[in-house]
Structure 1
Amino acid sequence: MSLRGFYLLPHPPIAIPEVGKGEEEKISATGGSFHVIGEEIAKKAPDTIILVTPHGVMFQDAIAISYENEIYGDLKNFRVPNVKMKLKINKELTTKIYEIAYSEGIPVIMATNSLLNKYDQSVTLDHGAMVPLYFINKHYSNYKFVHITYAALSDIDLYKFGIAIRRAVEELNENAVLIASGDLSHRLKEEGPYGYNPYGEKFDKEFLDNLAKGDVKTVLSIDKETVCEAGECGRRSTVTLLGALEGKKFNGDLLSYEGTFGVGYGIMKFNVLSEDEPKLGELEELRKSQYERKNKQSDPYVRLARESLTTYLTTRRKLREIPEYVPNEMKNMQRGVFVSLKKHGDLRGCIGTIFPATDNVAKEIIRNAVEAGINDPRFYEVEEEELLDIDFSVDVLTEPEVATREDLNPKEYGVIVRCMGKTGLLLPDLEGVNTVEEQLSIALEKGNIDQEDEYTIQRFQVIRHKES
């Protein structure tokens, strides 16, 4: 036996009548498609349902596979504690998936209650799992369960983990289906949870269109700005599902797509058409070529930042000479500089100087790139192998000027707050910071300044350099 079904399913609690209380009728196509999938799974009668969710207990650096005899959950966080379920975990299959993934060098852990208790957590069914299962259970409930929470790993690791899932199913001769749980963009409307961003619609269309074509390479090549700005939670689940389809030619059948509440809900089933050439090698080559391209950036600011941190991580020595590609403007100008690192769209380190601490911008970048990689107290030290997946940006600050609240605009100006020797700074145009109040609140918190204290405000602008 092998995996007999592959599905991309969203997880809007409002689709459940007990939660929606009539509002679910506004996404009736989603509800109808859920039932279609439930009926199809009932016909397949799998012994096990494997589900990858974004909303279980998540570790930053390892995929978590729940490992207890049973897993329980309810929707009390959505004011309906009576909607609950308890499922028996397929421990044999869970163990086999873990063993294969671990042997392939994929970061993975067995999430037990004894482990999670250390973090005041427990093995629990999250709404990312419960919402799809609520509808499936209306049609079929005679199954064991494998509960997986993805991590912010590289696409290659997630894809290889999908391969491991399929191998485990085949080696144990299991009859199983695989569900990738995930919503698409959360930024389709101003009244949505994260406001409107045009990249939201762009991401959803490209993502679903290419899944429908079975074009794995293009799905994984959607530019990072689009992915980050879309604010989605289903891409990584889907990459794992695509890995489980390695060596298969397939297409996707989109049953429905709705964005009524500002979040994209897409329901798609995948149809295996025939055998196909494996894609993993090609995807790994694509990743390497992207990294090589980053190392040869035309923008000298981000190129220097990457070279500085790379040199330190590979030699444990700081870059001593300014490279020849650095222009005179970087050697002759003094400015405060912030270097930011992002891994898979998530912040991985950011260190900077409000005022210059070295002779010029070039030396400022060399210094702060290393500091961002190894001395940001919010993160553990960056490791050399992570450089493949890290994107660099460099913000060169203008001279700060005294300002009032009325002078601020979080999209255009950064802010510096000061009080009794304490300082808090926030860069401009940051994701999720849309109002002056939000900007000041975060800056005050960073400076450990109470909002009731008397503090001064300065504003500044930045020239932002990003890797293309």
Structure 2
Amino acid sequence: MSIVAAFMVPHPPMIVPEVGRGSENQVEKTIKAYEKVADEIAALKPETIIISSPHSVMYSDYFHISPGAGATGSFADFGAPQVRFDVDYDEELVKKICTLAETSHFPAGTLGEKRPELDHGTMVPLWFITKKYKDFKLVRMGLSGYDLLKHYEYGMMIKNAVESLGRRIVYVASGDLSHKLQDYGPYGFAEEGPVYDKRIMDVCSGGRFGELFDFDENFCEKAAECGHKSFVIMAGTLDGKAVEATQYSHEDVTGVGYGICSFIPKGDDDGRHFLDARLKLVENELIEKSKKSDAYVKLARASAEYYVKNGEVLPLPEDVAPELLNVRAGAFVSIHKFGALRGCIGTIASTQKNLALEIIENAVSAVSKDPRFQPVTEDELKYLDINVDVLGEAEKISSPAELDVKKYGVIVQSGYKRGLLLPDLDGVDTVEQQISIARRKGGIAPDEKVDLFRFEVVRHY
């Protein structure tokens, strides 16, 4: 056996009557759809239910799976301590997933447990399910800071673990949609909110899982969704399967989007290996882009690839463009993978004899020394998008009014502490954001007095 059904569900605590105390009546359509999901799960009689929750333990570089024999939880944080759960975990399935992760060097497992109590992203689905069906074990897992393709790959690994054990499994992807659908909502309104909800419901109700990768990270952040990566893991568990997808409900009456869909596998379908297709597409696009890259980016890529493959710094090539040898300047090398930042290191002013050496050194640092990321591995190289920013001379300014996030980068300095942010970055739309991020990068407190500097860059793609 394998995954016999999967469901996309929300997790508003107020939907539980003891928490909502009448306010749950606002989402009657969602309640009825949830009850239908519970009825279908009861009819399927799964041995195990897997729930992925955005509110379980989460790390930037690791997929956490709840360890142990089981866990308890309650809605005490929401004023209803009497609503409690006591669940048994499927330790054998957890062990199998961990074994597959270890043998394939995939960053998932049971390490780093810091909140063993069940979270509301898990308990809301359980509240509906356990009213209709209780004869199951649970696997609870969190999301990560990795890109969407990594989450899909995780789902594929879960699928392999399930199939190897012959389990009869239902997968529940817990996640709310946009939290910014209405001005009166708890998080206000953003124009990206309704767009996200419309797109995600259209994609999921059509079972077009490959399109889940098309949601830009910055767009999702502005829409303030919390379930997208949960849905992507679920899609990965159904990789290579024909799917009958059905939308049960969508509501946004509270200012937060709640969507419910079911996905019933209907046999193998070689046209639905979405990760393989996306990886090939990305690889081909980057091959074409690299053919058009200028001398700056070609040198940065050559340096990055040489270091990752050989563990040594690239010797200065004989055919370097003269323009890189006859000038000194600070430079940043930025690396993205599948649209997400993978490394970015640079220098404010020149530290080398020429710009060519500056780029070579900073490319090495970007793939190996950015403290936010693990070093780049050789199998990642073909998926890396690289650009180079050459910095102009910084000038001191007297006011944030002299900044423009599209035109100028900013340096924020307080004594020996200094933070820098490049201009024209996705997701940085205001001067206030720009300065705030630069402060954080420099370890400078929000209320600490600072000097401001601005600079321009020439960006090479």
TM-score (norm 2): 0.82
Trace 1:172-211 onto structure 2 (pairs within 5 A).
172-186=165-179, 188=181, 201-211=194-204
Q: After superposing the two structures, state which structure 1 stretch, 355-364 or 169-178, moved more.
A: 355-364
Question: Which residue is 2:414 aligned to?
Answer: 419
Q: How far apart in 2 are the matches of 1:82 and 1:388?
A: 53
Matched, 1:63 2:63: yes
Q: How far apart in 2 are the matches of 1:362 and 1:185?
A: 45
285, 290, 293: which is aligned to 2:282?
Answer: 290
Trace 1:304-319 onto structure 2 (pairs within 5 A).
304-319=299-314
Q: How far apart in 1 are the matches of 2:386 and 2:192?
A: 21
1:380-419: CA deviation from partner (whole Å, max 9, x where unpaired): 4333334355443444444333231333455654322223
Question: Which residue is 2:8 aligned to?
Answer: 8
Q: How far apart in 2 are the matches of 1:19 and 1:357?
A: 60
CA RMSD of aligned residues (A): 3.7
Q: Would the aligned equivalents of 2:65 and 2:140 in 1 still touch at CA under 8 Å? A: yes
Helix, strand or coil at the partner of 1:39: helix
Q: Would the aligned equivalents of 1:63 and 1:109 in 2 still touch at CA under 8 Å? A: yes
Between the two proteins, the alignment pairs up a number of residues equal to 457
Q: Would the aligned equivalents of 1:413 and 1:461 in 2 still touch at CA under 8 Å? A: yes
Question: Which residue is 1:29 aligned to?
Answer: 29
427, 431, 455: which is aligned to 2:450?
Answer: 455
Q: Name the CA shift for 1:430/1:16 in 2 (closer, same or farther; >3 Å).
A: farther
One-letter amino acid of the counterpart of residue 276, structure 2 = E
Question: Which residue is 1:407 aligned to?
Answer: 402
One-letter amino acid of the counterpart of residue 381, structure 1 = P
Question: Which residue is 2:52 aligned to?
Answer: 52
Question: Which residue is 2:235 aligned to?
Answer: 242
One-letter amino acid of the counterpart of residue 294, structure 1 = L
Q: How far apart in 2 are the matches of 1:197 and 1:363?
A: 44
Helix, strand or coil at the partner of 1:138: helix
Helix, strand or coil at the partner of 1:267: strand
Trace 1:3-402 onto structure 2 (pairs within 5 A).
3-20=3-20, 23-78=23-78, 80-111=80-111, 116=113, 121-153=114-146, 158-186=151-179, 188=181, 201-220=194-213, 230=223, 232-260=225-253, 263-277=256-270, 279-280=272-273, 283-284=275-276, 286-295=278-287, 296-297=289-290, 298-300=292-294, 301-321=296-316, 335-343=329-337, 346-358=340-352, 361-388=355-382, 390-401=384-395, 402=397
Helix, strand or coil at the partner of 1:177: strand
Identity of aligned residues (%): 40
Q: Would the aligned equivalents of 2:414 and 2:444 in 1 still touch at CA under 8 Å? A: yes
Q: Would the aligned equivalents of 1:199 and 1:230 in 2 still touch at CA under 8 Å? A: yes
1:83-137: CA deviation from partner (whole Å, max 9, x where unpaired): 43221112223223333454455433134xxx53xxxx14332222122222323
Shift of 1:78: 4.3
Helix, strand or coil at the partner of 2:315: coil
Helix, strand or coil at the partner of 1:66: coil
Helix, strand or coil at the partner of 2:375: coil
Shift of 1:269: 0.4
Q: Would the aligned equivalents of 2:218 and 2:427 in 1 still touch at CA under 8 Å? A: no
1:330-359: CA deviation from partner (whole Å, max 9, x where unpaired): 666654332333455554432222233346
Q: How far apart in 2 are the matches of 1:323 and 1:309?
A: 17
Q: Would the aligned equivalents of 1:294 and 1:303 in 2 still touch at CA under 8 Å? A: no
Q: How far apart in 2 are the matches of 1:403 and 1:302?
A: 34
Q: Name the CA shift for 1:69/1:340 in 2 (closer, same or farther; >3 Å).
A: same
Q: Name the CA shift for 1:163/1:94 in 2 (closer, same or farther; >3 Å).
A: same
Q: After superposing the two structures, state which structure 1 stretch, 177-186 or 213-222, moved more.
A: 213-222
Q: Name the CA shift for 1:68/1:399 in 2 (closer, same or farther; >3 Å).
A: same
Q: Name the CA shift for 1:318/1:67 in 2 (closer, same or farther; >3 Å).
A: same
Q: Would the aligned equivalents of 1:338 and 1:395 in 2 still touch at CA under 8 Å? A: yes
Q: Name the CA shift for 1:185/1:66 in 2 (closer, same or farther; >3 Å).
A: same
